[in-house]
Structure 1
Amino acid sequence: MLLSVSRWTQQDYADAVRTHDELEEPGAEMSTVEARELRKRLRTPPASMLEAGLISGARRAVFAGGHLDRPSGPARRMYSLAYLALVRFDQALTGNRQCLDAAIILWRTCLEAWEAAGETERSAFAGEIHSVDCSLAGALGTRYNLNREFLVHPDPPLRPDDVRADLEEAFRAIERGTARLPSHRDGSDPQLQVFRQQLQAVKAYLVSLKYADMPAGPGSGSGSGSGSEMSAIVAELDLIPYAPPGDTTGARSTWLGTRMFLAQALSGPGARISDLRRAEKVLLGFLEAPDLTEESLIAAAQLSLATARMLLADSTGDERYRPLAQDAFEQSYLTGARSNLRTAWDAATQQAGWARRDGHRLVAARAYAAAFRVLPVLTHTQITRADKESALAMAADTLPMCARELANSSAPEDRIEAVLALEGARGVLLAEGLGQLAGPAADRATSRPSSTAEGDARTAQAIAYLTRELDGLRRQELTHPAGTAWRGAARMAACQRQLALVHARSRDGSDEPASPDWQEIVTLAGDAPLVYLTVSRDGGAALVVTGEECRWTGPVPVDLPTLTVDVAGKLLDKLHEAEVLRDRQKSPKYGRTRGQLTRDVVNDLWAQVMQPIANVLADCERAVLLPGGLLGMLPLHAAGTCASKRVDKWRFLLETTALSYAPHAAALRSAARGRQAITRLTFVHPAPTPAHGASQPPLNVAAELSGVRSAHPPGVTMTEIESEEVSRARLLDALRTTDVLHFTGHGDVDSGNPLGSGLHLGGDARLKVRDLLAAHEVRAMFAVLSACGTAVTGDALPDEVVGLPAALIQAGLRGIVATQWTCFDDFTAPLMREFYRCWLSGTHPSVALARAQATVLRQGLLVNPFAWATFAYTGA
């Protein structure tokens, strides 16, 4: 399509570059015809269309030199590999870990090709090999720097030895590159001098990383090993001469990069005040360079400047440096948000860290909130689920503190920011899945009026095709056996890049945003108030969005000072203890029976969490809870007073307000789509499994089935899947053909690997969360999972709420009734009968469940909260 356009715009030139880089296969014998034709037009673009920057300059040099148009052979292969490695590294600056990994692999492959080539063949690539050594070392250092911060988490996704291996390989690459240089006869060659300077600069960067985690103080000064090595690095960098703007040998870009590394070396651990002042001066000079246009480099320099100024404020006691540092942090965030999301994240979190250390908790919370704004996009740029989870782990510790501080602020904008932080940083993987479920604007693209209808149709077709392929790859990854290498990551990355390219050329091709803004959250609260809950080490907080009255005044804050992470953990432990006890057996840990422990939990949840929230809700019919962290595993919907020996004095919140759950408002928005009448109900009752038949209560399927049958109206067709017919394929097929799926059986939860949690289907067969996430073409609107523990989530990333309800919502369902622990069929049958009778008569499912629980409770059937509080509703 681009080649058919006679006169390109600046956007066309940018799209042509990206199209070329997708068409160029790494190491291929020849470029495609389209790639060659695009290169011809990209060799001599008009000056007004030239894109500034180091990568763009390197690209033009490769095109003008005809390196990718060489005849097939080792030189052509190595140039192709090196070129695409540089492109992928540039793409990695957006925070895309998969592109960084791809660049490293390509540079390694380039080195392998060099080793396999003969001396004659190497001569055609002699200059480029130095850039490969240097670039590989820099990329490995970058990945090391990204990975090492994950090692501070209790359950790091990476092994320390694997992280350190990158830094060790990077130093070897520098040594290898340095050893190559003297082998050339002409030591005065300007280009070789540039290569030597580049190696020195990258070595300085690696040395600064090597000592980045060393504490300042005695033993880390100039007399120590680290100090002497850093001093030697500074001396080497000082020898690199100034290069003026307009230089064509690469010396100018090398000198600019050297200034950055010099500043980092000067402001390393144990830096002297004089070194810090010089680092500030070097960075200011760098930022004032007239030919510095790449925003990603500017953002990085601003971040280094902020760090140097904060260290100067600490070292000198001169408070004038602090506002200057804060300004540099904010500028780095703003610049990074446009060019390098990772730098934006680092700028905001480092600013927050300094403020928190100095006791400025609200300032820290505001900075963390800014970081959480880029988190969903930063996560989205990762390709594989493992990389996404690693990115999300960065927010695990700071989100609750941030939200509580902002919630307690008197400023409405702070409380609104707290809601947006919670909305943006919770359930990011689920929100991304819901965005894919909603699909791109392909349908809108085909119907919009345009004079280029044929081109728009092709764009819409391309978007639809790429979206389907990307969704298929995502499902393949989920169903891939754990512990084995998945080969689809590279294709997934390429597909995502192509989709971004097509969207860039589309006039209206953007997806619906995954995270709703404040105005949409207020609108969503019009159906039922939204209650965001968070718990930190210092206490908890709730933010209640009651509807239109909150649009300008912000959410209603509720401080929960006694609700700490330790308190929530103890309540959860009591529930776990109650679940393993038999009737009338007392816990050796707490000295209480199952019923007593559950009543303790329900009472505490009322006193410490839900009573002040109930005062805000003011007896409204229903509300939606959006709990974070461990709160998502507690029966908040069952809170009440049941300490009295007289049952008639017990009161539960569900008797006035039905409470349902949602991971975030984006799930409500998606689940509320396409409401229609219920006409088909499928009842599934698998045979007992050997693993659960003895330890769990026996299944009274007949009583439950009879209760459901007696409740459903004549217009609903009910289908049964007998025990011997239950299978994974049959259950997934039922989700594609029914409106309501009612499953009675057993489930289990793997808290360390929530994607492995699932439903038991008889024998050894199971339907896992990953199977549900990989499902497609789902018709079902609701699921009733009358099985043990079907609403439990994993505890590694609790804010990702990866459990059966969330998985079914992502698959396309509106709502799910599930259980938070063991359920007993003697109590379940009458509860289900009341629930279906109320629900299928037109009541909202969350209200129907609450009324059913209240009815059987008041009839004396389910006095013990352990029996009825296990059931909860999630969804719209």
Structure 2
Amino acid sequence: MDRVRSAEEWFGWRPVPQPPLRFRRALARAGKALADYVLDADKSALPRMAKALDRIVDSAHFGKSPKEFRIACLNRAGIAHNWMGVDASNTNAELTTARELFTAGLAIVEPGSHDQARFDYNLGNTLLNLYQRVGDPELLGGAERHCRRAVENAAGDQRLEALCRTGLGSVLRTRIRADGDLSALREALHHVRIAVATAGETPMGHRFKFVLAELLSTRHEMHGGLGDLDEAIALLADAARVRDHMMSPGTLNPIVGTMGTLLRRRFLRTRDPEDLDTAIRLMRELVDGVPDPVPPALTNLGNALLTRYEHGGGLDDLREALDMQLRAVAATKPGDWQAATRHNNAGNALTALWRATGDPHLGDMAVREYRAALELTHDHAPERTSREYNLARALHTRGEESGDPTLLAEAVDAYDAAVRHGLDTAYEWALAAAQQWGAWAAARGDWAEASTAYAGATEAAERLFRTQLLRRDKELWLIESQGLPAVSAYALFRVGAVEDAVVALEAGRGMLLSEVLDQDRARLDDLVGTEHEPLVERYRAAVAASDEAARSGSSPSVLRAARETVEEAIDGIREIPGHERFLHRPDISDVRRAVPADSVVLYLVAGDEAGVAFTMDDAGEVRAVDLPATVDAVAQRAQALLDARDNPARWEGTLDAVTRWAWSAVVEPALAAAGTARRIVLIPFGFLAMLPLHAAWRPGPDGARRYLLDERIVGYAPNIRALEVAERLANQTSADQLAIVVDPETASGQRIGYAEAEAAWVRRWFAEPRVLRGRAADHGSVLTALSGAQVHHFICHGIARPDDPVRDALVLSGDDELTLAEILSLRLTSSGVRLAVLSACDTDRPGTVLPDEVVGFPTGLIQAGFPGVVATQWAVRSEATSLLMARFYQLWRADRRPPHEALCAAQRWLRDTTNEEKIRDLSPAADTPALRSLVRTLRLRDPKARAYGHPAHWAAFSFHGC
């Protein structure tokens, strides 16, 4: 009896009450069979348990037995038949018997009782199992009705309520996957999270965690959040520690199988080989040595092997993957709700082997499998998009192989369907399909079709971006869509839609920055004091809570709830007359409005075959011209600069060659469309952002070089929205207080030459500057100073980490680092900052992984609230830097030139003037010994010499913002 009671307690069952004497022997046999099944993993015990309980229920005396006894026996008999029915080797008869037993039990229980909740839960579970076998939607609807009533009646019993909520969650997840009803996802997660929170450590708690993991996996498929995947895998790893061989009998170990599937999926995002190797090892445990592996185990192992093949595996992996998938299809019974998935997986393996061998017969087989999958997939199911995409690619390739125009036309339709359905249910697949479709259309020269495809890709990328809560998730999807704004704009240019092209570029560059600026620049002050003030307070409180949740490392569920609250508050403000466009996506009118007076903005794009420049002047006129600049050519020049940086013998020659090419391929054609505005703001895309375009040059008529810097006042901006915000902040902020970091004391003891001279020239123009020198330039003091002054000047070492730019750093005393990640978390707009000058090496090197996000110090400081930033693209001699900074501040503070103009003028001055002329220009301001030291150095040189004519000395500096 101890064994029987242990088995009953594992499920939370009470002993069978009031058993009549005539039934006790059969009841004992049923109890022993239950114990053998639960405690010894004896699958043969299930039929014995069902047979013993059937004898009781079928007895002529059963109807006269005590009601509580009948309720318990009907429930246990139904559960036994349900367990047997889930086994893939059995027919539907067992599930039908379970359905009849649970229905009979519901007829005698008290309405609203816990007994009714148990029967409703069990009947709902049985109907769900039947649905998964035969696919009848009425069964799924019945399962949902019974599970909902079970939740209502389970209140007061913690374990029972958790079980019923989890049952409803499982039904809702199946409905989501069956017909694409996304509204059910949030409700399902709500119910199962409550179940895990209240009963997650009970004997059945691992099952609740398993269902929660499946729901998080479903949400990941739809919205792509890596946090959902991480949480699901952690839940499964925790659940797998519990011994439960009965869970979904016939599938061996669904927890292990699902964990393997999710590890494979995470590998596809992170490329961590340990995830994939672990996934294959787990999946093999469910197949190797098993006489008749079930289809889910076969197809999951096949998927993992195919993934390993695609990332460096051999043909043996591929052939085994195909064998697994074809075996899974063959073992699938009619009506199995996962039949479509197995056909699709078989198509994937056939496609891979087709590509590897070139055998067209395999291509025809793949098309047939994809067609079969789509025929079995509901029109609104989330998986439909990926299957349409797979069919489109197979038709595309097979059509080009065979020259069959019918297949090619069908491929276009399939791509189009994949994008349309994906924008409703699966953004990730919509993005993949649209990008593939757009590239194919562009290769055919069908620019109208390419524009349509890329418009879908842009929409999918934006939706993926908006639905992610963590910066790392946003960055992962931005990696997937890198280059999309450029190719989309080029396609629009080719069809003459230049304004739409500019909007595509503006919306797609610096999205991480723009999201923050959109929050900061929201003009809500005019609503304060009106009847709408509560909406403003609600919005501001929601944004503050969301920011705090992100900074404090809250869980994805908390972050998502916070973001949803922000979205609801935004929707409320948009209902106010005059605020309908609050935080809206930019359009051409926004771009026109943001162009500063007497300025022209140049969007510069390199393409596969050619590039394009779009110009927008302060009158709002948009022009576009071809550029002879290809992506490959730009990448080669950017790499050449990187390779020559540490080779003094090659550096100047390489810089000359790259900037000369930049004039012919980029600057000269763009200037032809730029009009006569004095100021040019460059917004270069891709690796163009890594070239010093302001130093592009051509030979003049007198043989001397003419640089872009000589033609116009040149600056850079992440995008025009950032420029607009910078212009506004610059106009409302003073520049009276200076904080200057001077040569922090580092462990290496490496000092910065001319640091004191440079610091003296900077301090010259401010009444009471705050100086953080040497050991005093520590991390805490510098952070404090950032919010206490309007101008910040750093004379220190810089560290560039292009592969991980948020770890770019300014080196402070004690080798502490002020990283870009820290700067990104700052909000200094309220304290009023005006300018940051980074007189340090490598502070203007955007990350190479996300070039269109221009992640680096200039963008980070603009996000933190600085309207203007001066930064450097490479290391410059200290003396040249000190002279340049001395003249820059002189022109800005004494001559009252705007900072962007002062920097350009100072660069020309450093380049063109003789030592004698430099002494003449600086001497009037050199009124202290510290200031005169730099002038004395010049007096020792040849008075007619121009030592800094080469762009290596002056072109490293660039101005960003306003």
1:671 equivalenced with 2:799 (yes/no): no
Shift of 1:530: 2.0
Return the match for 1:623 from 676, 680, 684.
Answer: 680
Question: What is aligned with 1:141?
Answer: 261
Question: What is aligned with 1:285?
Answer: 375
**RMSD, aligned α-carbons:** 4.8
Q: Secondary structure at the match of 2:206?
A: helix
Q: Secondary structure at the match of 1:320?
A: helix
Q: CA 1:371/1:134 → structure 2, altered by over 3 Å: closer, same or farther?
A: farther
1:852 partner amino acid: A
Matches within 5 A, 1:273-672: 275-276=365-366, 278-279=368-369, 281-287=371-377, 292=378, 294-314=380-400, 316-355=402-441, 363=449, 367-368=453-454, 370-396=456-482, 398-399=483-484, 402=487, 405-406=490-491, 409-413=493-497, 415-416=498-499, 418-435=501-518, 437=520, 449=531, 459-460=538-539, 463-473=542-552, 488=553, 491-503=554-566, 505-506=568-569, 507-508=571-572, 513=583, 516-527=586-597, 528-536=599-607, 538-550=609-621, 555-561=623-629, 565-566=632-633, 569-570=636-637, 573-574=640-641, 577=644, 581=648, 587=649, 590=650, 598-641=655-698, 649-672=704-727
Shift of 1:137: 3.3
- Partner Cα distance (1:62, 1:128) in 2: 23
Preserved CA contact (<8 Å) 1:539 1:565: no
Shift of 1:498: 0.8
Shift of 1:803: 1.9
Preserved CA contact (<8 Å) 1:526 1:548: no
Preserved CA contact (<8 Å) 1:782 1:816: yes
Return the match for 1:78 from 187, 190, 206.
Answer: 206
Question: What is aligned with 1:245?
Answer: none
1:744 equivalenced with 2:805 (yes/no): no
Q: CA 1:403/1:579 → structure 2, altered by over 3 Å: closer, same or farther?
A: farther
1:91 equivalenced with 2:219 (yes/no): yes
- CA displacement, residues 340-387 of structure 1 (integer Å, 9 cap, x when unaligned): 211111211232454467676885576345324432442454455444
Q: CA 1:255/1:677 → structure 2, altered by over 3 Å: closer, same or farther?
A: closer
Shift of 1:96: 1.4
Shift of 1:808: 0.9
Question: What is aligned with 2:950?
Answer: 864
Question: What is aligned with 2:62?
Answer: none
Gaps of 5+ in 2: 1-143, 145-150, 173-177, 355-360, 575-580, 919-947
Question: What is aligned with 2:299?
Answer: 204
- CA displacement, residues 756-780 of structure 1 (integer Å, 9 cap, x when unaligned): 3222334423322222223344632
More helix by share: 2
- CA displacement, residues 539-564 of structure 1 (integer Å, 9 cap, x when unaligned): 543222335544xxx54133124x65
Question: What is aligned with 2:334?
Answer: 241
1:854 equivalenced with 2:908 (yes/no): yes
- Partner Cα distance (1:223, 1:111) in 2: 29
- CA displacement, residues 439-497 of structure 1 (integer Å, 9 cap, x when unaligned): 8x9989987747xx98x689547614522323423xxxxxxxxxxxxxx4xx2412221
Preserved CA contact (<8 Å) 2:808 2:819: yes
Shift of 1:813: 1.3
TM-score, length basis structure 2: 0.67
1:269 equivalenced with 2:353 (yes/no): yes
- CA displacement, residues 197-251 of structure 1 (integer Å, 9 cap, x when unaligned): xx52563365256336869xxx9899965554443333223xx123xxxxxxxx6
Question: What is aligned with 1:193?
Answer: none
- CA displacement, residues 615-662 of structure 1 (integer Å, 9 cap, x when unaligned): 22233111211123332222211223368997xx44332233111112
Matches within 5 A, 1:115-194: 115=244, 126-127=246-247, 133-134=253-254, 137=257, 140-141=260-261, 144-145=264-265, 147-148=267-268, 158-172=271-285
Q: CA 1:687/1:762 → structure 2, altered by over 3 Å: closer, same or farther?
A: farther
Q: For CA contacts below 8 A with separation 6 or more, give which structure has more relative contact order.
A: 1
- Partner Cα distance (1:42, 1:169) in 2: 26
1:531 partner amino acid: L
- CA displacement, residues 105-160 of structure 1 (integer Å, 9 cap, x when unaligned): 22332232345xxxxxx8xxx45577894476356436525644x6xxxxxx5333
- CA displacement, residues 497-534 of structure 1 (integer Å, 9 cap, x when unaligned): 11233246544268965863343223223543221223
Q: CA 1:656/1:492 → structure 2, altered by over 3 Å: closer, same or farther?
A: farther
Preserved CA contact (<8 Å) 1:680 1:740: yes
Return the match for 2:843 from 778, 781, 790.
Answer: 790
Shift of 1:33: 15
Question: What is aligned with 1:808?
Answer: 861
Gaps of 5+ in 1: 1-16, 18-23, 46-50, 116-121, 151-156, 183-195, 243-250, 474-487, 582-586
Q: CA 1:210/1:461 → structure 2, altered by over 3 Å: closer, same or farther?
A: same
Shift of 1:728: 1.5
Return the match for 1:100 from 226, 229, 238.
Answer: 229
- Partner Cα distance (2:409, 2:881) in 1: 62
Q: Secondary structure at the match of 1:529?
A: strand
- Partner Cα distance (2:818, 2:560) in 1: 33
Bigger Cα displacement from structure 2, 620-629 vs 526-535: 526-535
- Partner Cα distance (1:61, 1:389) in 2: 25
Preserved CA contact (<8 Å) 1:362 1:406: yes
- Partner Cα distance (1:461, 1:129) in 2: 52
1:637 partner amino acid: H
- Partner Cα distance (1:871, 1:67) in 2: 58
- CA displacement, residues 243-285 of structure 1 (integer Å, 9 cap, x when unaligned): xxxxxxxx6x445655655665676633546635533542453
Aligned sequence identity (%): 23
Preserved CA contact (<8 Å) 1:748 1:757: yes
Q: CA 1:70/1:823 → structure 2, altered by over 3 Å: closer, same or farther?
A: closer
- Partner Cα distance (1:56, 1:575) in 2: 50
- Partner Cα distance (1:30, 1:468) in 2: 38
- Partner Cα distance (2:870, 2:189) in 1: 61
2:626 partner amino acid: V
Preserved CA contact (<8 Å) 2:168 2:188: no
